[in-house]
Chains A and B, each alone.
Chain A
Amino acid sequence: DMKVTQMPRYLIKRMGENVLLECGQDMSHETMYWYRQDPGLGLQLIYISYDVDSNSEGDIPKGYRVSRKKREHFSLILDSAKTNQTSVYFCASSFSRDWGSGEQYFGPGTRLTVL
Chain B
Amino acid sequence: GDSVTQTEGPVTVSESESLIINCTYSATSIAYPNLFWYVRYPGEGLQLLLKVITAGQKGSSRGFEATYNKETTSFHLQKASVQESDSAVYYCALGDQDYNQGKLIFGQGTKLSIKP
B79 interfacial contact with A, CB 8 Å: no
In the assembled complex, the Cα of A110 lies from the Cα of B65 at a distance in Å of: 30
**Contact indicator A96/B45 (Cβ below 8 Å):** no
Question: B105 near A48 (CB under 8 angstroms)?
Answer: no
* Among B4, B47, B104: residue with most chain A CB under 10 A: B104
On chain A, the residues within 8 Å of B100 by CB distance are 99-100
Total number of residue pairs linking A and B with CB closer than 8 Å: 68
Q: Which residues of B contact A74 (CB under 8 A)?
A: none
Does B114 reach chain A (CB closer than 8 Å)?
no
| B58 vs chain A, min Cβ distance (A) | 16
- Residues of A94-113 contacting chain B, CB below 8 A: 94, 96, 99-109
Neighbouring B residues of A58 by C-beta, 8 Å = 103
Q: Are A43 and B36 interface neighbours, CB within 8 A?
A: no
A99 in contact with B102 (CB, 8 Å): yes
Known: A42-B4, A102-B93. A107 touches B104 (CB 8 A): no
In which size bucket is the chain B interface? 20 to 34
With A41-B108, A45-B103 as given contacts, are A102 and B95 in contact (CB-CB < 8 Å)? Answer: yes
Assess the A101–B105 pair: CB atoms within 8 A. no
Asked whether any CB of chain A lies closer than 8 Å to the CB of B46, the reply is yes
A21 at the interface (CB under 8 A from B): no
A37 within 8 A of B: yes
Most buried by A among B97, B100, B103: B103
Cβ 8 A contact of A48, one of B53, B91, B101: B101
Residues of A within 8 A of B46 (CB): 43, 90, 92, 104, 106
Q: How far is the CA of A96 from the CA of B103 in the complex (A)?
A: 11
Asked whether, in the complex, the Cβ of A106 is within 8 Å of the Cβ of B45, the reply is yes
Q: Name the residue among A50, A58, A103 with the largest chain B CB count within 10 angstroms.
A: A103
Shortest beta-carbon distance from B36 to chain A in Å: 5
User: Which B residues are closer than 8 A to A by beta carbons?
Assistant: 4, 34, 36, 38, 40, 43-48, 51, 53, 91, 93, 95, 97, 100-109
* Beyond A56-B101, A102-B48, 9 additional pairs, beta carbon < 8 A: A42-B107, A43-B106, A45-B103, A92-B46, A100-B95, A102-B51, A102-B104, A104-B48, A104-B102
